[in-house]
A and B are shown apart, each in its own frame.
Chain A
Amino acid sequence: MAVIDGVFLLPLVLPPTVVGFFLLLLFGRNGPLGKLLLRMGTTIVFSWPATVIAAAVVAFPLMYLTARAALEQVEPRLLQAARTLGASEWRVFREVALPLAWPGILAGTILAFARALGEFGATLMIAGNIPGRTATIPIAIYFAVEDNDVSRALFWCAIDAVISLALLAALYYWSHAQEATRVRLARR
C-alpha cells in the first residue's frame, strides 16, 4: 500500500520537467513502453497523445489524494450496515461509498483538471511544441511571448481564462442547486 501510494504521489513532489524526462525515458524509442508501442507500429513521443499522458500523470496525484480522502471520510458504520443488509462489496462501493464521497471526488476532479490545464514542463519534455499538433495552451502562450507575438499570447490567455471561468461558474451553480434542494427538503 505504501509503495503504491509512493508511486502514485511521486508526480506531485517531483518537478514537472523530471516527470517529463522519466516519461520520455519510458516512452522513448529505447524505453520499455516505447519499444512495446513501436512493435505495435506506433510511437507516442511528440504526438498529441503524449500531451494527454503528461497532463494525466501530473494531475493524477491530486485526484487520487482527494478521492481517497473523500472515500475514507465515509462513515464506516454505513458500509457495515450495507453489508449486514446483504450488499456485495461492489454494491457497497457503488451505492453507498461513491455517492457519499461524490462531492470530494468532484473536488478532486476539478483540482486535477485545473492542474492539467496549466501543465507545461512535462508536456514540453515528452510532446515538444509542434503547432497544431502538440502545442497545448500554456506552451502556445510561452512560445508566443518568446516570439514577441503579444496579441497571440493574449488570445490564448483569454481562451484559458474563459475555460477556467466557465468551469468555476458551472461548479458554483451546481453546488448552489444542491444547496437549494437541501434547504427545500429540510423545510418540507
Chain B
Amino acid sequence: MALTVQIAKRLPEFDLDVSLTAASEPVAILGPSGAGKSMLLRCIAGIERPDRGRISLDERTLFDSERHVHVPARSRHIGMLFQSDSLFPHRTVAQNIAFGLADLTPEERAKRVATWMERTHIQGLEHRHPRELSGGEQQRTALARALATEPCALLLDEPLTALDTHLRSQVESQLQETFTEFRRPVLLVTHNIEEAYRLGEKMMLLARGRVVAFGPKEDIFRHPPTRMAAQLTGCKNFSRAQRVADNEIEAVDWGCRLRVSPNQSAARLPAFVGIRAHHIEFGGVDFDEQGSVSRSANTFPCWPVRVSETPFRVTLYLRLHQPPGDLAPHHLQAEVYKEKWRKFRDRPLPWCIRLAEESLILMPQ
C-alpha cells in the first residue's frame, strides 16, 4: 500500500514540482496559503492534470505523462475530503453517503451507510439535509461518504479550517481515529502547524510549489534543514550567522556571539541561526543570573519593545544590548506563559535572557 507521486505543473505564480511517497502513515502537508498544497491533492485525485510526471498507487499507474496515462478521477479510488460545502445539498445525509455505492445492492448499500454513520458518529442524522447540519456534522458526513467507497487512499484538503474552534477539536479526534483504522496512504493539507503535527506522522513542508522538507515530523521540528523550513514550522527568530570558532558563531543581525555545540551537523557552515520564541529563557526565572561563567554563556541584556497578550500567553518583542530608541526594531520575539511573565515583568530593566545552546537551530541556507 503506497502512493508515489512525482509531478510538475505550471501554475500562474510559480511551478509546482513535488515528489513524495506515502505508505500507511498519514502525511501532513504544511505550507502557507497559495503554496500549491491543494493543487497537489487535486492532481493526485485526478481533478487536475499535471504537466509532467507520474502518479502511482499500489500497483496501478494513475498518471504518466510519458506513456500518456491519465486515469479519470472516477476510476482512481481515491477519497477526497474538501474544506467545506462539498455535500450534495439536495440529498439527505444517508443519500450523500450512498452516492458512491451505486454498484451495491440496496441492502448492502443500506448496511454500508449505517456502518459508516456509526463509525463517524452521526447516527440519527440520516434524513437530514446538509443545510440542517452543523459544520462538524457536515464534515463527518463528507468523511463517511468518502470512506464508504473504501478508497485506496484518502486526501484531505484543509478539512478543519472552516470549523469553529470547539467543533474543530471534535472533528480532529474523529480524523485521528479514522487514520488509525484506515492503514492506507493519507495526505492531509493544512496551514495550521499544530494540526499538522497532531494528525501527521510524516510531514512535508511546501512553499511556492517546492518541497522544503519531507520526513518524520519530530526530525523536521527538531532540525529544520533550511531557514524556510524553520519558518514554516513556526520559528520566529532568525539571524544571519558566521562561524568564528569551532564552537562559536557570530549572529550578525542580533549583534552577538553565540556558543554552539560543535557536533551539530549544520554547524560546519551555518548561514542562519534561529531560536523558537518559547525557547528563549529569562534570567531569575529559568536560570540564575549569578551562575558560573560557563552556565551564563549566551546570556544577554535586553529591553522590551512591545508586548502583545493573548488570554494565556504573552509575546515579548525584545531588543538586545541597549534600550530601544523610538523606531528601533526588535531583535527577538519571545513567548511565555502569563504565570511566568508575572514573575519577571516587574524586575528592573534590562532583563537577562539566555539563548541556550541546545535550543539554537543552525541552518546551512
Contacts and interface: CB of A to CB of B under 8 A. Distances in A.
Contacts of B85: 75, 77
B90 A99 contact: yes
A85 B132 contact: no
Contacts of B73: 80, 83-84
Contacts of A83: 46-47, 72-74
A82 B73 CA distance: 9
Interface residues of B, number: 30
A87 interface: yes
Contacts of B89: 100
A81 B129 contact: no
B124 to A, nearest CB: 12
Contact of B75 (A82, A86, A95): A86
Interface range, A side: 20 to 34
A188 interface: yes
Nearest to A80: B47
A165 B80 CA distance: 48
Contacts of A186: 131-132
Nearest to B84: A77
A17 B47 CA distance: 47
A43 to B, nearest CB: 46
Q: Which of A80, A88, A100 has the most CB of B within 10 A?
A: A80
A82 B90 CA distance: 13
Contacts, number: 64
A1 interface: no
Given A75-B85, A81-B88, A84-B79, 6 more contacts: A77-B86, A80-B80, A81-B80, A81-B82, A84-B146, A86-B77
Contacts of A84: 45-47, 73-74, 76, 78-80, 146
A99 B96 CA distance: 14
Contacts of B79: 84
Interface string A149-188: 0000000000000000000000000000000000001101
Contacts of A99: 90
Contacts of B74: 83-88
Contacts of A133: none
A78 interface: yes
B184 to A, nearest CB: 15
Interface in B123-137: 128-129, 131-132
Contacts of B142: 81
B314 to A, nearest CB: 40
Contacts of B100: 85-87
A68 interface: no
Interface string A55-71: 00000000000000000
Contacts of A185: 129, 132
Interface in A109-166: none
A88 B75 CA distance: 9
B83 to A, nearest CB: 9
B300 interface: no
Given A77-B82, A77-B85, A85 B46 contact: no
17 contacts: A77-B85, A78-B86, A78-B88, A80-B42, A80-B73, A81-B80, A83-B72, A84-B46, A84-B47, A84-B79, A85-B99, A85-B100, A86-B100, A87-B100, A87-B102, A96-B88, A100-B90
Nearest to A79: B47
| Closest 4 pairs (CB-CB, A-B) | A85-B100, A83-B73, A84-B80, A81-B86
Nearest to A76: B47
B330 to A, nearest CB: 42
B174 interface: no
Nearest to B142: A81
Nearest to A88: B74
